[in-house]
Amino acid sequence: MTASDPAPAPRLAPLDAEALRIGQKLREVGRALDARYLDKAELVRLLLVTLVAGEHMLIVGPPGTAKSALVRHLARLIDARYFEYLLTRFSEPNEIFGPIDIKAFREGTYVRRVEAMLPDADIVFLDEIFKSNSAILNALLSILNERRFFTGSRSIRVPLSSLYGATNEVPNDDALSAVFDRFLVRASSENLDSFHFHGLIERGLAAEVEALAGGLEAVAQPLITLAELRTLQAGLARQLQFPEEFLARYKGLVFQIRSEGVTLSDRRVVKLLKLFAASALVDGRPTVNEGDFFVLRHVWNSVDQIALVDDIVGPVLERHRVQHPEARPADAGARDLDGILAELGVIRGLLLGGTPLSDVQLFSQLRNLQEIRTALQAIGTDTAQAMAGEVDKLLEGVFESSKWTG
């Protein structure tokens, strides 16, 4: 081989039986979360990937969109030590990191009792994280960066796997940028579209019945142990080898994203490689493929950048999906299509049933049709594309109808 020849792609050995077994269990965790939380598949996938990679994630969205419920359920299914707290500007460090040890303080030592508090947890969820004060945020930085909590003159190594933060809005305060940057990926959790309404009611009522019967603890039994998760995390180091073709595609995406004004630091560029490898590990693959670039859809720094990043990464993911249709779970698209078909039938009946609609009602149904069309295009199967064509015909018919012109 000459100096000008390309380096051969790394050849990783197949995953050992233990990694495959644990990966299968982790996928069962994902399926359990998918079955409970409607239209949160990508969010669930990010939860699993960041957990395996030992990285942190921010969930942005309005109240009531299952942010805390998802993370709480995840911790339950993994049987991990879990800490959750809703932060306000009045929150004090002892509420998060534990109270001062009074006995030790009387003896001249300043330490906190961290048992069952954040420094003692494997998975942490902090709601409204950016509303906390500087004392809490500064202590969080060392935990996020170094997995260390400083109490008095002591430094405690914390067992944290991942910290998940939630906020109603992305911060624009420079004082918060250091903490914000430590969340490697950011995911949006919004209220469901209209065609998910019936599914929302069905699953929501099931959850209410479950709560009356004893809650999550009574029905959600652990599917994987923390020790097994640690084994998978330890094996991630062996997977951090990437084909040159993959790295070349990654380089192109990084610089395209940066050219559009989305800040992506060198630190995050390197750390994102861990997420790609973790995504492959969750699937039981020994190496990455372009489907793992879905992570890049979540590197935005403001909600205005979500569509921009998706326009860059989306075509790469779509090409991979077309070339590898088996990569999408066989029943995921079918479940989506069932709900969309039911909603489409309702809308068709309203638009073509002969009952006059007000302008407000008409515009509402047209907006619903546009949402359905977008969802069908995202599914991308032949059946979904055919249904998208039916939606186009229905839209054309509405625009030409006397209801519209009149």
**The domain boundary residue, chosen from 327, 353, 377:** 327
Question: Are residues 360 and 311 part of one domain?
Answer: no
Residue 57 lies inside a defined structural domain of this protein:
yes
Residue 77: HSE in the Cβ half-sphere, 13 Å Cα cutoff: 22
Q: Decide: residue 289, CB within 10 A, 0-12 exposed, 13-18 middle, 19+ buried.
A: middle
**The domain boundary residue, chosen from 301, 327, 353:** 327
Residue 133 lies inside a defined structural domain of this protein:
no
Q: How far is residue 142 CA from its own chain's centroid?
A: 23
Question: Are residues 205 and 302 part of one domain?
Answer: yes
Question: Are residues 212 and 200 part of one domain?
Answer: yes
| Inter-CA distances, 69 with 84, 251, 261, Å | 11, 36, 33
Residue 110 lies inside a defined structural domain of this protein:
no
Residue 92 lies inside a defined structural domain of this protein:
no
Question: Are residues 348 and 316 part of one domain?
Answer: no
Query: d(Cα 36, Cα 406) in Å, to the nearest integer?
Result: 44
Tokens of 195: 């065609």
Question: Are residues 390 and 291 part of one domain?
Answer: no
What's the first-to-final CA gap in the chain, in angstroms?
Answer: 75
This prediction's pTM: 0.83
- Tracing tokens 């991308």 back to the chain, one arrives at 380
Question: Are residues 338 and 314 part of one domain?
Answer: no
228, containing H or E segment: helix 226-235
- Tracing tokens 């939860």 back to the chain, one arrives at 47
pLDDT of residue 327: 65
- Provide the pairing of β-strand 148-151 with 185-188: unpaired
Residue 235 lies inside a defined structural domain of this protein:
yes
pLDDT of residue 332: 46
Residue 100 lies inside a defined structural domain of this protein:
no
pLDDT of residue 247: 97
Query: d(Cα 278, Cα 214) in Å, to the nearest integer?
Result: 34
Task: Specify the long-range contacts of residues 246-250, CB closer than 8 Å, at least 24 apart.
Answer: 246/276, 246/288, 246/289, 246/290, 249/290, 249/293, 249/316, 250/276, 250/293
Question: Are residues 351 and 235 part of one domain?
Answer: no
Give the tens place of pLDDT for each residue, 81-115: 999 999 999 999 999 999 988 888 888 888 899 99
- Tracing tokens 């995840």 back to the chain, one arrives at 74
pLDDT of residue 7: 52
Residue 140 lies inside a defined structural domain of this protein:
no
> In a 3-state reduction of DSSP, which class is residue 394?
helix
> In a 3-state reduction of DSSP, which class is residue 84?
strand
Question: Are residues 355 and 221 part of one domain?
Answer: no
Question: Are residues 61 and 185 part of one domain?
Answer: yes
Residue 7 lies inside a defined structural domain of this protein:
no
pLDDT of residue 233: 93
| Partners of 155 in the β-ladder | 150
Q: Write out the residue range of the structural domain in which residue 379 sits.
A: 330-405
**The domain boundary residue, chosen from 327, 348, 368:** 327
Question: Are residues 208 and 62 part of one domain?
Answer: yes
Q: What is the CATH number of the domain that holds 51?
A: 3.40.50
Question: Are residues 357 and 266 part of one domain?
Answer: no
Residue-by-residue pLDDT tens, the chain, 406 positions = 454 455 555 556 678 889 899 999 999 999 999 989 988 999 999 999 999 999 999 999 999 999 999 999 999 999 899 999 999 999 999 999 999 888 888 888 888 999 999 999 999 999 999 999 999 999 999 999 999 999 877 899 999 999 999 999 898 887 788 899 999 999 999 988 777 777 788 888 888 888 787 766 666 789 999 999 999 999 999 899 999 999 999 999 999 999 999 999 999 999 999 999 999 999 999 899 999 999 999 999 999 999 999 999 989 988 888 888 766 544 444 556 777 777 788 888 888 777 787 877 787 788 888 878 877 776 666 777 788 888 888 888 777 764 444 4
Question: Are residues 399 and 306 part of one domain?
Answer: no
The number of domains in the chain is 2
